[in-house]
Chain A
Amino acid sequence: MAATPSSPAVLVIDDHMIIRQVVEQNLKNMGFADIDTAGSAAEALERMAVRNYDIIFVDWIMPGKSGYALMQECREERKFDDVAFVMVTSESDERHMIEALKAGATSYIIKPVLSNVFSEKVKKVLDWLAKRGQKSDVQSA
């Protein structure tokens, strides 16, 4: 993917600044250009209130509202139907992964964030977005 004016809008939510930096750097290496970050669910909600995102990377466990709870709330709203949620978490149990996917995660990335794994997962998310876009086009036609 090359950086273009139509680069997907991305929000990265993690309470650790270094993880936000790592994810942001990986995204920039892939050509993403429109990246916002938030250090908590509350800050993320403020950002989501003023603009729309195509992909939201969210940590599962954070002080205050968890990323999991935030994703569940968002999934209850129609406006997030075509938004990809990527859970980026240290929780590597299979049951956590299944739980996240059932709750609406589009993808699941286990920390530490490794560039090759990250880019593979994000490419699949872009495919998912493309398919959703086609579906939306069909529905609106």
Chain B
Amino acid sequence: MLNMSGMKTDISGVVQSTVVETFNGMLGQNVVSADERGGAAAGDDGRIYACLLLDQARGASANFCFTFDGKLLARTAARFYPPEQAREKTVQEDIACAIANIVGSKVKSCLNKYGHDFEMTVPFVAEPAALPFKGCDTIHLHFSWNDNAGAGARGLVVDFGMDQRPTGNC
């Protein structure tokens, strides 16, 4: 029997440190881990959802959904691309999936250090109506960012759930 509670704690720590390191160290942003009340909630407009699944042959799975604020992705894109290109949704989706991929890989490595054998799917963009992991017993990790307007804005929420059913779906 897996220690799901311990694994969730480990995963939360890895997600929090990797999201911050990726945004701040690699992408030049100012993102911090926040509690659920921290930062103004972003509107639905411009949100981008990236999902991935960690699956284990023995039946445990962890599913992740990253909800990015479009403004954070736009600002990140503007650091690397010309303005017109930075506004393209495909460019922002690419950033979202790249971040999800890095975070998911770190989580996989953390879990596998303890002798597990999780494999990770390629991150994919999902529409809100089709989010694959709705209804799980999820943990929500919140991140805010400094939008340089003096306010901390909600930049990202990472939802993840774990179960021991073979398919990984709730």
A interface residue numbers (CB < 8 A to B): 16-19, 21-22, 25, 61, 63, 89-93, 111-115
Contact = CB atoms under 8 A, between A and B. Distances in A.
Contacts of A92: 105-106, 109
Interface residues of B, number: 23
A16 B26 CA distance: 14
A115 B26 CA distance: 7
A111 B26 contact: yes
A76 B95 CA distance: 34
A25 B112 contact: no
B102 A22 contact: no
A32 B4 CA distance: 47
A21 B85 CA distance: 13
Interface in B98-142: 98, 101-102, 104-106, 109, 112-113, 122
Contacts of B97: 16
B2 to A, nearest CB: 19
Interface-centre pick from A17, A25, A90 (highest chain B CB count, 10 A): A90
Interface of B: 18, 21-22, 25-27, 77, 80-81, 91, 94-95, 97-98, 101-102, 104-106, 109, 112-113, 122
B94 A18 contact: yes
A25 B28 CA distance: 12
A120 to B, nearest CB: 14
Contact of A19 (B81, B98, B106): B98
A16 B98 contact: yes
Tell me the interface secondary structure of chain A in the complex.
loop
Given A18-B98, A21-B81, A63-B122, A112 B109 contact: no
13 contacts: A18-B94, A22-B26, A22-B27, A63-B122, A90-B101, A90-B105, A90-B106, A92-B105, A93-B109, A112-B25, A112-B27, A114-B25, A114-B26
Nearest to B85: A17
A128 B18 CA distance: 31
A70 B91 CA distance: 26
Given A22-B80, A89-B105, 12 more contacts: A17-B91, A18-B80, A18-B91, A18-B98, A22-B26, A90-B102, A91-B105, A93-B112, A112-B21, A112-B22, A112-B27, A114-B25
Return the 10 tightest CB-CB contacts between A and B, nearest first. A90-B105, A112-B26, A16-B98, A112-B22, A21-B80, A114-B25, A92-B109, A18-B95, A111-B102, A90-B102
A76 B52 CA distance: 34
A2 B31 CA distance: 33
A89 B108 CA distance: 13
B102 A112 contact: yes
